[in-house]
């Protein structure tokens, strides 16, 4: 009997899973909540990835495309999100065999065992899954032998609060706050040009945004970037440089370190945000210790977390720390693994307490960072082999991921901008309360306002 699988999400990993499923003769349905395949990719179309094309194309997807005359992009070029969509993901989703299996504008609301809630045990593993979704034409229900959740984490960013919740005032001041990696030099240029922008986070999204802000400052005077880093060691943010096996990833870290050294970015280390309030159309971003930074806009690039709200009636047994498959947590825990790369893994490491249900792609990492697209491709290759009953292929995981070259170590010799607000104390002999106040006055403005009595 032909086995069936529902794949949630038509992003790169979801489409790769579908390609592998079609190769193995599975009856597959792909549910995508967006109006097109790879809708999340299109949200960051301006970003150029730091992995080459050859690391971003799944093998089964490429085989399927080549059967229809597809010409692969230069394998050593670095695509933008838009190029990933235009030259790979859209052509893949448009293939007749795959297009007929993709259901757009299907927002999944629940995944359960058919007719069973989490508490029912007897015969549970023999009962198929039921996936319910909302569509423009009303609710639908699909029954399948297996389910792969490759819905990603794009629409579920972590908030600014250091405790994992929204900082006080974060929701109320949402119009001055953006998340992830906004299009600083493109569609959102007008929002940031000539303003003081604080960026919270230490990962690649934060670094990329800060680098773009420096470029914007070269074009529009008065644009200033403040880096808010929760920790006290920026070393990981600077990357592994020449030791990074992804050259572009190492290069952006080195370039960023150079900007910090030249003081083109104001740095505030040990800045755990607790509150965000507005005063005269400016944000006052503060820690519990009452350190404050004044800015016109805040970009929160603190990472993402998985949306588990539609999976509450499944027995997942996720790791309590990272919200990821328990066997995988041992390989990706950022509290333990500070160096190198993630070991190869597949269906075995992604197994959950609910047999036949898998989380793959970025969502499989839960709250852990550093996911690479090629990781997801290998995950779904192994998972689909497992679903198809090919235990040998499922267990044969040979992927080698590029090492970062980053390890824990002592603090690098980079000075923080001080313990005060807005870049620390003003230079000697300058009538200003802080660095940002001084630079604002130099630009002919009244100052940053942090010295104004309450």
User: 101 lies in a domain?
Assistant: yes
Task: Categorize the per-residue pLDDT at 261 as very low, low, confident or very high, splitting at 50, 70 and 90.
Answer: confident
Mean predicted confidence (pLDDT) in 278-303: 94
Number of domains in the chain: 2
Burial class (CB in 10 A: 0-12, 13-18, 19+), 453: exposed
Query: Residue 207: in which H helix or E strand, if any?
Result: helix 204-219
- If residue 60 lies in a helix (H) or strand (E), which one and from where to where? helix 59-66
Q: What is the pLDDT of residue 243?
A: 59
Percent of the chain whose pLDDT exceeds 70: 84
Q: How confident is the model at residue 436 (pLDDT cuts 50, 70, 90)?
A: very low
> What are residue 134's DSSP bridge partners?
107, 139
103 belongs to a structural domain: yes
Q: Residues 20, 380: contact at Cβ < 8 Å? A: yes
- For residue 246, the enclosing domain spans 174-302+408-417
List own/partner pairs for 444-452 with CB under 8 A and 24 or more apart: 445/222, 448/196, 448/294, 448/422, 449/279, 449/280, 449/282, 449/294, 450/292, 450/294, 450/421, 450/422
Percent of the chain past pLDDT 90, that is, above it, reads 72
In a domain, 403, yes or no: no
Q: How confident is the model at residue 451 (pLDDT cuts 50, 70, 90)?
A: very low
Which pLDDT belongs to residue 430? Answer: 58
Q: Which helix (H) or strand (E) holds 273?
A: strand 273-279
Q: What is the pLDDT of residues 318-356, one digit of tens each?
A: 999 999 999 999 888 877 755 456 777 999 999 999 999
In a domain, 402, yes or no: no
Give residue 246's pLDDT. Answer: 62
State residue 372's pLDDT score. Answer: 86
Q: What is the mean pLDDT of the chain?
A: 87
Over 60: is that where the pLDDT of 411 sits?
no
One domain for residues 151 and 13: yes
Higher-confidence residue: 241 or 449?
A: 241
Residues with Cβ within 8 Å of 399's Cβ and at least 6 positions away in sequence, in order, are 344, 374, 375, 378
Long-range contacts of 91-99 (CB under 8 A, 24+ apart): 91/65, 92/15, 92/19, 92/37, 92/61, 92/64, 92/65, 93/10, 93/15, 93/36, 93/37, 93/38, 95/64, 95/65, 95/68, 97/22, 97/64, 98/15, 98/18, 98/19, 98/22, 98/30, 98/64
Q: In terms of pLDDT, which residue wins out, 414 or 226?
A: 226
Residue of 231 and 297 predicted with greater confidence: 297
Looking at residue 1, its pLDDT comes to 74
For position 416, what pLDDT does the model report? 42
Q: Are 354 and 148 in contact (CB under 8 A)?
A: no
Tell me, yes or no, whether 194 and 90 share the same domain.
no
Which tops the pLDDT comparison, 210 or 344? 210
For residue 356, being part of any structural domain is answered with yes
The domain that contains 35 carries what CATH number? 3.50.50.60
Inform me whether the pLDDT recorded for 247 exceeds 60.
yes
Distance CA 299, CA 392 (A): 46
pLDDT of residue 412 exceeding 50, the answer is no
For residue 376, which of 338, 345, 404 has the smallest C-alpha distance? 345
pLDDT tens string 154-176: 999 999 999 999 999 999 999 99
96 and 145 co-located in one domain? yes
Tokens representing 287? 């820690």
Residue 405 has pLDDT above 60, yes or no: no
Element (H, E) at 179: strand 177-179
At residue 221, the pLDDT reads: 95
Residues 186 and 250 in one domain: yes
For residues 146-150, average pLDDT: 98
Tell me, yes or no, whether 255 lies in a domain: yes
What does pTM read for this prediction?
0.85
129 pLDDT more than 90: yes
Q: What are phi and psi of 282, to 5 degrees?
A: -125, 155
pLDDT-wise least confident of 31-35, 230-234, 274-278, 362-366: 230-234
Instruction: Please check whether residues 297 and 209 belong to one and the same domain.
Output: yes
Instruction: Say if residue 139 is in the same domain as residue 254.
Output: no
CA dihedral angle for residue 423, residue 424, residue 427, residue 430, rounded to 10 degrees: 90
Domain shared by 95 and 140, yes or no? yes
Least trusted range by pLDDT, from 4-18, 61-75, 223-237, 385-399: 223-237
> What pLDDT is recorded for position 97?
94
- The tokens 């045990």 sit on which residue? 121
In a domain, 213, yes or no: yes
Same domain, yes or no: 149 and 201: no
**The pair of three-digit structure tokens given for residue 329, joined into one six-digit string:** 């947590």
Confidence of residue 409 (pLDDT cuts 50, 70, 90): very low
Decide which of 445 and 241 is more confident: 241
3-state secondary structure of 96: helix
Confidence band (pLDDT; 50, 70, 90) for 294?
very high
Instruction: Assess whether 298 and 310 both reside in one domain.
Output: no
CA distances from 64 to 18, 29, 71, 363 (A): 11, 17, 12, 25
Is 427 inside any structural domain?
A: no
pLDDT tens by residue, 197-207: 999 999 889 99
Q: Which of 47, 37, 35, 34 is nearest to 14 (CA)?
A: 37
Instruction: Enumerate residues 6+ apart whose C-beta is below 8 A from 138.
Output: none
43-96: per-residue pLDDT in tens?
999 998 878 999 999 999 999 999 999 999 999 999 999 999 999 999 999 999
At residue 282, the pLDDT reads 94
Residue 435: which pLDDT band, with cuts at 50, 70 and 90? Answer: very low
User: Do 314 and 343 lie in a common domain?
Assistant: yes
User: What is the helix (H) or strand (E) element at residue 134, kind and residue range?
Assistant: strand 129-135
* Half-sphere exposure (Cβ direction) of 197: Cα atoms closer than 13 Å: 33
Is the same domain home to 292 and 308? Answer: no
Q: What are the beta bridge partners of residue 6?
A: 29, 147
The most distant pair of C-alpha atoms in the chain lies apart, rounded to whole Å, by 83
Together in a domain, 178 and 295:
yes
């Amino acid at each position: 009997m032909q086995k069936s699988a529902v794949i949630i999400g038509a992003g790169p990993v979801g489409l790769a899973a579908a390609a592998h499923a079609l190769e193995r003769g599975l009856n597959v349905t792909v549910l995508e909540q967006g109006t097109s395949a790879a809708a999340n990719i299109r949200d960051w179309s301006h970003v150029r990835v730091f992995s080459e094309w050859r690391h971003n194309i799944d093998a089964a997807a490429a085989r399927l495309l080549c059967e229809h005359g597809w010409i692969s992009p230069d394998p050593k070029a670095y695509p933008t999100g838009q190029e990933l969509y235009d030259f790979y993901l859209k052509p893949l989703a448009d293939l007749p065999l795959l297009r007929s299996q993709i259901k757009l504008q299907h927002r999944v609301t629940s995944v359960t065992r058919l007719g069973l809630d989490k508490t029912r045990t007897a015969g549970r593993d023999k009962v198929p899954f039921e996936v319910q979704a909302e569509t423009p034409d009303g609710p639908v229900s699909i029954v399948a032998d297996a389910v792969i959740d490759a819905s990603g984490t794009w629409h579920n960013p972590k908030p600014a609060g250091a405790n994992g919740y929204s900082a006080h005032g974060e929701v109320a001041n949402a119009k001055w706050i953006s998340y992830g990696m906004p299009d600083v030099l493109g569609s959102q240029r007008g929002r940031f040009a000539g303003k003081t922008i604080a960026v919270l986070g230490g990962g690649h999204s934060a670094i990329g945004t800060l680098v773009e802000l420096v470029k914007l400052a070269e074009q529009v005077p008065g644009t200033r970037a403040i880096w808010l880093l929760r920790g006290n060691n920026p070393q990981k943010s600077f990357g592994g440089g020449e030791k990074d096996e992804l050259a572009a990833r190492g290069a952006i870290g080195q370039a960023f370190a150079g900007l910090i050294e030249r003081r083109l970015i104001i740095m505030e280390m040990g800045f755990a945000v607790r509150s965000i309030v507005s005063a005269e159309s400016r944000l006052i971003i503060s820690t519990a210790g009452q350190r404050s930074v004044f800015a016109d806009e805040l970009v929160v690039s603190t990472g993402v977390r998985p949306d588990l709200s539609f999976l509450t009636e499944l027995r997942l047994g996720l790791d309590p720390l990272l919200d990821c498959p328990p066997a995988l947590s041992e390989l990706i825990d950022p509290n333990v693994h500070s160096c190198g790369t993630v070991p190869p893994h597949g269906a075995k490491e992604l197994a959950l307490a609910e047999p036949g249900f898998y989380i793959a792609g970025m969502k499989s990492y839960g709250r852990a960072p550093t996911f690479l697209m090629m990781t997801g491709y290998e995950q779904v290759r192994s998972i689909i082999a497992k679903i198809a009953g090919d235990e040998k292929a499922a267990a044969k995981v040979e992927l080698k991921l590029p090492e970062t070259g980053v390890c824990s170590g002592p603090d690098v010799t980079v000075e923080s901008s001080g313990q005060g607000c807005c870049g620390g104390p003003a230079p000697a002999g300058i009538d200003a309360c802080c660095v940002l106040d001084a630079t604002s006055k130099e630009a002919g403005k009244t100052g940053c306002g942090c010295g104004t009595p309450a």
